[in-house]
Amino acid sequence: MSRIHKLPDSLANKIAAGEVVQRPESVVKELVENSLDAGATEIAVVVKNAGKSLLYIADNGSGMAEEDARIAFERHATSKITSDEDLDRILTLGFRGEALAAISSVAQVELKTRQEGEELGTLVRVENGVVVEVSKTACDRGTSIAVKNLFFSVPARRKFLKSNATELKHIVETMQRFALAYPEVTFTLSDDDTLLMSVKAGTIEERIRAVYNDEMLNALIALEADGDGVRARGFIGKPNFARKSKTDQYLFLNGRYITSKLLSHAIFTGYEHLLDAQSYPPYIVFLEVDPERVDVNVHPTKSEVKFDDESMIYGLLQAAARRSMSEHNLVPAMRMPQGDTGESVIAALRYALPQYDRAEKFPGPPTRPGPADAPGDGGASAWPPAYGREKPMPTGRAGELMRQLFGEQSAPLPTPSTLPPDAPHPASQLDLATSTPATFRQETRSLDGDVDPVRAGLWQIHNKYILSQLRSGLMIVDQHVAHERILYEQAVRSMQAAMPMSQQLLFPLEMKVTPAEYALMRELRNDITALGFELSIERGDTVFVHGVPHDVGAGQEGAILRELLDQYLEYQQMGMTDQRHMIAASFACRASIKAGDPLSQEEMLNLIENLFATSMPYVCPHGRPIVIRIELSELDRRFGRTS
Ligand code: ADP
Ligand code: MG
């Protein structure tokens, strides 16, 4: 007897379903694509239990005749292509004829559909891949599909579903992509009676405002390019609105959301040196390419594509991004040598701009605004909280560690008034090299109340590193990671004690949030509260912030909360699971002073003192070094000084 046999259809469909239907979001994606392919202008999505119990998608598209509705559930049943050649001309989102077959093999599906001009529509019920009912029914024009108990017949798959918040987040993200890609279509999304999204047909600008807010719209500038059979339109973010996660980056190819490392990179490099390596500018870019030149047939979920001429599209997008930047005066204009878009140009630009200073280009708030004039939401502004609100808190251990490191030099200094008249001048304890300025500053110190930089022995270079003389040589501290370590430990303590150290805002800050942010805030609420954020979560899109942790600077409240969520998601994607660690690390990363922030003497002193009061002053929560030491002997060796 032969051992090889053909799989029954129902089993083949189930196997195919593994590729097409991974989670509730996949069903939403496939069915909304079908609705769009059917020319719908209104699409409503209702889910229950994050789609695990019910997914319902209704559209006002073309509908199907009874005959078609019946066979639509068969494998490879599609109305979208008929011949080999059609594969090269795909203008629809679907074409494999797989989705309905796959979905109905792992759920209970009820479809109602009616075409224009028909009096009655058709009802088709399918369970476990088998059509169990076809009948006539009264229904609206268009198609509605209810998918119940997804994976009910495949418990192993059901087990792999994540928490409702996570599954819902995927659905929301997919709906946001559709919403941005199809501004001319009205979409609604609700979960268990909560309206999560409701966007009316309109222009792309209106759509961006509806999906995000005005702030996002203001953060974007137009992008436009036309090339050989390729058109790019859309928006890219101003450099100072770059975020630390890719969540707001959208690339659509012929109406389909795609991911492309290469093309993202093209846009990124268009910013020249305006972005740090790990920052992601928001963008919403629509590419229109002759379908013959694209192969979307790469991956079942079709988010990756192949172009026949990737480098051309790369160059086009890069040049377009660069042009947008320079047209908006974000990069000094410079003529590009023909055909040269590579490193040499960037190098030339850098060379041409020795004085270039980000702080000059994008002035932040000059002084910290008082609560009364605090902006509605700190925005995505990259400007740091003013550090040093807190008093230094040297502890016994920290003091000891610092003395070991620095010698007596940076121990608290006696002020002249506390010295007995005949005591040796403190400066005389210093070596010759520093005694003159120290003495000089000693005298001026009482006048301006400033901390003496030389006596404190701290210098900031490039607004990034702090240098200090050590007993045994030289210490270099990375100011950002140092502050990150300090805030991280404070955050962990605060969450463990569940005794939030919160500063109240005079006026609660109203924040418009995206459905995804909203869902995440609800999920993390307890720990965020313990951290010091006092929130009241109102409707589906509004959160009021009443209090924030102490280290959040005025005007930064909204931005830091939002960035904390971003960073949290990023950590989650990296596979981290310890919620508190992730929240503490996210907060620390986002609320800390950045490279580029100038620090006063007092701020540097606070920073160093607080750093050495932490449990681990040498490594940041991500494992990066905080302090580098260079021994005097090493310097001597390098200068050829033999002692
Ligand atoms: P594909 O989209 O790849 O063609 P599907 O299994 O998703 O395959 O759908 C099968 C067919 O059912 C489609 O080709 C289309 O003709 C029809 N169909 C599915 N959904 C709808 C809808 N919402 N409105 C009209 N026709 C639909
Ligand atoms: Mg389809």
CA of 29 to the centre of ligand 1 (A): 13
Least confident of 25-29, 52-56, 275-279, 440-444: 440-444
**E strand or H helix that includes residue 44:** strand 42-48
Q: Which of 37, 55, 106 to mutate to test the pocket of ligand 1 (most atoms within 8 A of CB)?
A: 37
**pLDDT tops 90 at residue 553:** no
CA of 93 to the centre of ligand 2 (A): 7
Residues with CB under 5 A from ligand 2 (ion): 34, 94, 99
* pLDDT score for 431: 29
Burial of 498 per CB tally in 10 Å (0-12, 13-18, 19+): exposed
Beta bridge partners of 547: 504, 534
Q: Which of 34, 111, 122, 131 to mutate to test the pocket of ligand 1 (most atoms within 8 A of CB)?
A: 34
462 pLDDT band, cuts 50/70/90, is very high
In sequence order, what are the residues at sequence separation of 6 or more whose Cβ sits closer than 8 angstroms to the Cβ of residue 602? 388, 450, 451
**Which atom in ligand 1 lies closest to the alpha carbon of residue 30?**
7
**Six-digit token pair at 157?**
């798959």
**Atom 19 of ligand 1, nearest CA residue:** 34
As for ligand 1, residues whose beta carbon falls within 6 Å of it are: 30, 34-35, 38, 59, 61-64, 72, 77-80, 94-101, 143
**pLDDT tops 60 at residue 513:** yes
* pLDDT score for 449: 38
* Amino acid present at 170: H
Residue with tokens 């991974």: 22
In sequence order, what are the residues at sequence separation of 6 or more whose Cβ sits closer than 8 angstroms to the Cβ of residue 78? 94, 95, 96, 97
**Atom 27 of ligand 1, nearest CA residue:** 34
* pLDDT score for 81: 77
CA of 78 to the centre of ligand 1 (A): 6
**pLDDT tops 70 at residue 475:** yes
> Of 51, 18, 27, which Cα lies nearest the Cα of 165?
51
Q: Which of 21, 30, 60, 78 to mutate to test the pocket of ligand 1 (most atoms within 8 A of CB)?
A: 78
Rounded Cα distance, 115 and 117, in Å? 6
Q: What percent of the chain has pLDDT over 90?
A: 37
CA of 76 to the centre of ligand 1 (A): 10
Least confident of 216-225, 419-428, 430-439, 618-627: 430-439
**pLDDT tops 80 at residue 42:** yes
3-state secondary structure 308-339: CCHHHHHHHHHHHHHHHHHHCCCCCCCCCCCC
* pLDDT score for 218: 86
**Six-digit token pair at 414?**
């006696």
Contact call for residues 484 and 470 (beta carbons, < 8 A): no
**Which atom in ligand 1 lies closest to the alpha carbon of residue 93?**
2
CA of 103 to the centre of ligand 1 (A): 12
Q: Residue range 289-312: average pLDDT?
A: 74
**pLDDT tops 70 at residue 254:** yes
**Atom 16 of ligand 1, nearest CA residue:** 79
Q: Ranked by mean pLDDT, which of 12-26, 55-69, 324-338 comes out on top?
A: 55-69
Helices 396-406 & 601-611 angle (0-180, nearest 10): 110
CA of 170 to the centre of ligand 1 (A): 22
> Of 486, 506, 600, which Cα lies nearest the Cα of 555?
506
Q: How far is CA 165 from CA 429, 513, 518, 587, 606, in A?
A: 63, 15, 10, 21, 40
**pLDDT tops 60 at residue 384:** no
Rounded Cα distance, 291 and 94, in Å? 14
* pLDDT score for 394: 43
Q: Work out the number of other CB atoms within 10 angstroms of the CB of residue 85.
A: 9
DSSP per-residue letters across 482-510: HHHHHHHHHHHHHHHHT---EEEEEEEEE
Average pLDDT of the chain is 77
CA of 396 to the centre of ligand 1 (A): 72
Rounded Cα distance, 347 and 232, in Å? 27
Q: Which of 81, 100, 103, 147 to mutate to test the pocket of ligand 1 (most atoms within 8 A of CB)?
A: 100
* pLDDT score for 500: 77
In sequence order, what are the residues at sequence separation of 6 or more whose Cβ sits closer than 8 angstroms to the Cβ of residue 333? 326
402 pLDDT band, cuts 50/70/90, is low
Q: Is the pTM of this model over 0.75?
A: no
Q: How far is CA 15 from CA 42, 99, 127, 146, 147, in A?
A: 32, 12, 16, 22, 18
Rounded Cα distance, 7 and 10, in Å? 8
Q: How far is CA 50 from CA 19, 159, 188, 500, in A?
A: 20, 14, 15, 32
- Please give the residue that has the higher pLDDT: either 387 or 613: 613
